[in-house]
Structure 1
């Protein structure tokens, strides 16, 4: 099935499905919400998992990274990318970060698109697009529903310190390097307050699933999904052609 046939299928069947966005800040609990949604039967397209997949040996993005950054960032025995080592370098170097993103982002977008298509072909009526850069990449503009998971600054810092073994200063610096969570909250259609316990978050996710199911109507989301499919397919197709040296 070529890309034209896939797009035709999506357009013919678009009224039967919805794509919602899920995002948050580092250590706000986005991944926890994503996992809880998956356990409740929703299909998740996880950008973080995809980002790890596309840097595995054999992927075109992996080859381009070795060319751009050299073998020092790859394990001599397994060839695996040392994500921590590379991350520490690009965090403090804007030009290297730009080069990294120019390789990773097209590859990630293409894999995201393929997963969306797979779920649609399998008959999914609701897909969750889980990505930390949902707002920054502009996807919120073409999605009917955007969920932002948030917590207070001090809670976020403490969680990041505990999770990654960082000092308070380093944790604050990592958070400051991202788009402020309050900016993301301003663009949300649904906010998930994750200042409490895991049990409280489970209850909020139950309520979220009920709300998503009640919001889902073909007429309400039809235009948004048409725009999503067309916009993503054109961006993803162009990015993938460049990545695979076709154009």
Structure 2
């Protein structure tokens, strides 16, 4: 079984690629969803975050206030590392366990791991190839402003807090440019599917 990692910075359209793969019937592990599941009310990770960051980062239902926490960690590298240390190990262990199970089951020839911080967490060690989704900076900013109702400066802070794209490019096997719209994006993804499924 071949495992393909899909990654990309904020606003590049990584999730659009994953959604397209799901629509085509491929199995996609969503690392972000795993992290969200781990940080709902009364989970061990949420309790650790509460202890580390304070009660103001948990909403009235006991769930993590992701927006508020994101605004903090994207301008404070130490806090960002602390948050990742709390959540990341659990996510990686969960993902690796599922990949192992799927390999043993023999159900799939190819699966995909959608992980926004794939390289930052060392998760590239769990995949056979990485597809990096990119887009020009203006397009990324515009998308996030619309999606998150965010300010440009906040978005730029979030982008600058992430691993530089040139470093991600050097570590990736394939580059998907999502600057020109969905038709062009899907064309690139279809070409990569053909390339990788044939060799799976």
TM-score (norm 2): 0.89
Please report the RMSD computed on the Cα atoms of aligned residues, expressed in angstroms: 1.9
User: Residue 146 of structure 2: SS of its match in structure 1?
Assistant: helix
8 Å CA contact 2:46–2:63 kept in 1: the answer is no
> What is the aligned length?
199
1:18-50 deviation line (CA, Å, top 9, x unaligned): 111111111111110011111112211111111
What SS class does the counterpart of residue 40 from structure 2 fall into? Answer: coil
Q: Which residue does 2:91 correspond to in 1?
A: 108
Question: What stretches of structure 1 move > 6 A for 4+ residues in a row?
Answer: none
- Counterpart position of 1:164: 148
| 1:35 has 2:19 as partner | yes
**Does residue 93 of structure 1 match 2:76?**
yes
TM-score w.r.t. the length of structure 1 is 0.74
Match of 1:184 among 154, 159, 168: 168
Matches within 5 A, 1:1-247: 17-76=1-60, 78-122=61-105, 123-141=107-125, 143-216=127-200
The secondary structure found in structure 2 opposite 1:44 is strand
Residue 111 (structure 1) shift: 1.9
When residues 137 and 99 of structure 1 are mapped into structure 2, their CA distance, relative to the original with a 3 A threshold, is: closer
Post-superposition shift, 1:52?
A: 0.5
Q: Structure 1 regions of 5+ residues with no counterpart?
A: 1-16, 217-247
